[in-house]
Each structure stands twice: as structure tokens, then as C-alpha cells.
Amino acid sequence: MTTARAHTNIALIKYWGKRDADLILPYTSSVSLTLADFYTDTRVEFDARLATDQFQLDGQAQSAAKLTRFLDLVRGQAGITTRARVTSTNHVPTAAGLASSASAYAALALAASHAAGLTLDDRALSRLARRGSGSAARSVFGGLAVWHRGTDDASSYAEPLPATTLPLRMVVVMVNAGPKPIGSRDLMANTVATSPYYPAWVTHNEAAATAMIQALAADDMPTIGHLTEQSAMQMHAAIMAADPAFTYFEPETLAVWQTVHRLRASGVPVYATMDAGPNVKLLTLAPHVATVCAALSPQFDQRVLVSAPGPAARVLED
């Protein structure tokens, strides 16, 4: 029995689209920041008395179909057939809209591989987590990480980037904490299949990943922020151009972007990004968090969360 913790991550350079849906190989590399305040704890216990895998999330019994597919990978690597009892708790503020498959599969990959007696190095663990959810490949690591798109199962993994001296902070603005109208997996596939902008997205985003790694190494906040906004907007532009056309933007989403641009015009280093939902995440530096929060508070008041960079996935109990 093993309990592991993994933290969510927010992509600065986005992953959007698979060229192999089974292996979860992405069309582009991505770059992310793991967050301290939002994480998943998962306990895995292999038990020979179980006829099927059991899964409980936040105290509620769940269907184990996806879990079983993932555990089969672990069992295959470990040479066992034993079923498991899996208990998972998301530590994100209630209804923050941040519960993430990234922290979930990174914690599950670590707990399950450990409980099955496997000793995986970070790269093998990242590749395993990737098979559950692409973004989980990055949540194996703390701080900044790059997920190399690679060309096959062995070469598509994440690894940590050198720490920046910049005191990065992420300010999460909860525009709408309700369920998403369309899940990212289906929308991603439809964007690849139908968006005329998708090929342009691939070309630009891969170049942006390389540029971001250089900007992070140089502690170049204006370039880091510029590339962050551009990757998000280009991803959302490709989504809008898909058939059927769709957008996650809501009126308040745009209000946040306008606030960000206004703050920046007054000299505050703050940059916006968005994932598969209407909530906006703002990248800024610790000394500017109070100014950013003050600008948001008239409209968003209790709907703003701040996080520092967080640590790598780790075993809590064995």
C-alpha cells in the first residue's frame, strides 16, 4: 500500500492535440509551472481478495473503467494481475474548477507503481503518468517542467527545467466553477480534425516552447509573459476555428484579460493564460500579487486564489 501526492500544473506553453491517442503522444512540446496549493493525494492498495478494481474519489465511489485501463499498464510492467483499492482526495478549494487530471494521474502513477513493487526513475514515471493524461507527465516534477513531444512512447516525457530566480506566482481567477460544457479530450481531438488553424498552431507552439525555455533560463519576465499569453490565445483561436465552432470564453473571462492589459499598461508584470475552461490564470511576480489582487477584487472578490510554485510528486506513506 502506498500513498502519493502530486500537484497540479498550469501550462505556460500549452499541450493541445494528440498525434497518437492511445499512447498520448502530443503534436507539440509544452512547458508548465507546478503549483504548491493544489494537489491530489492517492492511496493504492493491491489486494488479492479483490475481483475488480475499486475507486473512491473525495469520499464517493466512482466507476473504475478508466482506472483499470491505467492500472493494467502498471500491472503489465510489474508482472502482476492483482486488483487494487484506490482512494483519492483532491486538495483544491471547493468548486475552484481546478480539479485536474494532471495531479490525479501523476499521484496515481507514483502510488500504483510503488505499491506494485516497481522502482521507476523520473522519466519512466513521467511516461507512465502521460498514459493516463497528457498533462500528468509534467506534474511528476516540481517548479518548471518541459514535456518533450518526442516521436514515440520512449521519447515523449517531461523533465524539470532549471529553477528561475524570478519569484513567480500564479493568481487564479474563478470566472465560473461549474462543469465544463465540453471536456478537453473531445475538443482537442475535434480541433486537430477540423480546425484550419491547427497546423499553424503546431508550428508556432513548438517554436514557442523552445523560446520559452530560453526566456526562463534568462529570467526574462517580459518574454516569458508574452509567450505565455500567445500560446493560450493561439490555442483558443484554433478551438474557435474548429467545426463546430466553440469557445470557453465567457464575458467575465474577457473582463479579466482587460484588467490584465490595463495593469500591464501601468507597468505591472502580469500575464494571462487559460486552459480548457473560462477561468483565467495570471502569471506575475510575488511583489506584484497585492496590486493584481486589488485590481481584481471589485469584480471577483472571493474568487481569487494565489499560489507559489510547488514541489515534485512524492510518496507520503509506504
Locate cell 514515471: which residue? 125
Binding region for ligand 2P0 (CB under 6 A) out of 9-17, 35-43, 158-166, 256-264? 9-17
Specify the length of the chain in residues: 318
Q: What would the x/- binding string for ligand 2P0 be over residues 175 to 204, using CB under 6 A?
A: ---------xx--x----------------
Written as nine digits, the cell of 136 is 500528468
In the complex, minimum distance from the CB of residue 208 to ligand 2P0, in angstroms, rounded to a whole number: 12
Q: Is residue 135 a contact point for ligand 2P0 (CB under 6 A)? A: yes
Q: Is residue 17 a contact point for ligand 2P0 (CB under 6 A)? A: no
Q: Is residue 107 a contact point for ligand 2P0 (CB under 6 A)? A: no
Which residues, 6 or more positions from 257, have their beta carbon under 8 angstroms from its beta carbon? 272, 280
What is the pairing mode between strands 84-91 and 30-46?
antiparallel
Pick one of 5, 15, 55, 115: the residue that binds ligand 2P0 (CB under 6 A): 15
143-156 per-residue burial string, b: 16 or more CB within 10 A, e: under 16: bbbbbbbbeeeeeb
In the complex, minimum distance from the CB of residue 61 to ligand 2P0, in angstroms, rounded to a whole number: 22
Q: Given the complex with ligand 2P0, which of 237 and 268 has the nearer CB atom?
A: 237
Q: Is residue 91 a contact point for ligand 2P0 (CB under 6 A)? A: no
Q: Is residue 11 a contact point for ligand 2P0 (CB under 6 A)? A: yes
Q: Which of 113, 114, 112, 138 is nearest to 126 (CA)?
A: 138
User: Cα 93 to chain center, whole Å?
Assistant: 16
Locate cell 472571493: which residue? 302
Q: Is residue 275 a contact point for ligand 2P0 (CB under 6 A)? A: yes
Torsions phi, psi for 302 (to 5 deg): -80, 5
Using CB under 6 A as the criterion, which residues of the chain lie in contact with ligand 2P0 when the complex forms? 11, 14-16, 24, 30, 101, 133-135, 184-185, 188, 275-276
